[in-house]
């Protein structure tokens, strides 16, 4: 029987292992792909922020193999300096492993770590073309804002 775990890990230590999933993530969810923008993460900036203690990486593993991740940034709010804020950058569960408990385990792990770090507010988002809003509501999130995009190219 496969064992599913969720844990906090180091981005610097796990980045190479994440890269194949980043490609799957791009293929599955990217809106940029349809506009001709290739996946081209600024890994140097991610690693700079990780070294500064600003990155929260949680992973989901099945029998040791990474099948998903959450990357967020933990920093004081720009408008509210006394409010430590976790802002989701990306999260992904490999499509072959969706429908189980992986995403819930992942987000519960993130919440435990955010509380441990003293985070006051956590923002997460959902792509509307593959909506995960129901999961966020089940985890106690409330919908507070909607983003709109206008392609200019």
pLDDT tens-digit profile of 50-77? 999 999 999 999 999 999 999 999 999 9
Which is more confidently placed, 135 or 53? 53
Predicted local distance difference test score (pLDDT) of residue 152: 82
Predicted local distance difference test score (pLDDT) of residue 39: 97
Contact 121, 83 (CB under 8 A): yes
Predicted local distance difference test score (pLDDT) of residue 125: 82
Predicted local distance difference test score (pLDDT) of residue 100: 87
CB burial class (10 A; 0-12, 13-18, 19+) of residue 134? Answer: exposed
Contact 93, 60 (CB under 8 A): yes
CATH topology of domain 4-138: Aminopeptidase (3.40.630)
The residue ranges of every structural domain in the chain are: 4-138
CA 23, CA 36: separation in Å to the nearest integer? 15
Q: Is the pLDDT of residue 128 over 70?
A: no
Contact 55, 113 (CB under 8 A): no
Smallest CA-to-CA distance from 124 within 132, 25, 41 is with: 132
Tell me which of 36-40, 60-64, 142-146 is least confident.
142-146
pLDDT tens-digit profile of 72-120? 999 999 999 999 999 999 999 999 999 888 999 999 999 999 999 999 9
């Amino acid at each position: 029987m496969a064992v599913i775990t969720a844990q906090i890990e180091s981005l610097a230590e796990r980045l190479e292992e994440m890269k194949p999933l980043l490609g799957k993530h791009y293929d599955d969810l990217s809106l940029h792909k349809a506009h001709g923008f290739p996946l081209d993460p600024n890994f140097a900036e991610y690693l700079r922020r990780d070294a500064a203690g600003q990155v929260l990486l949680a992973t989901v593993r099945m029998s040791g193999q990474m099948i998903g991740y959450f990357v967020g940034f933990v920093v004081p709010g720009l408008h509210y300096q006394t409010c430590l804020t976790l802002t989701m950058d990306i999260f992904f569960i490999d499509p072959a492993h969706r429908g189980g408990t992986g995403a819930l385990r992942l987000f519960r792990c993130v919440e435990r770590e955010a509380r441990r770090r003293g985070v006051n507010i956590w923002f997460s988002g959902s792509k509307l073309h593959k909506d995960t809003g129901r999961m966020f509501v089940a985890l106690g999130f409330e919908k507070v804002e909607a983003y709109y995009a206008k392609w200019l190219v």
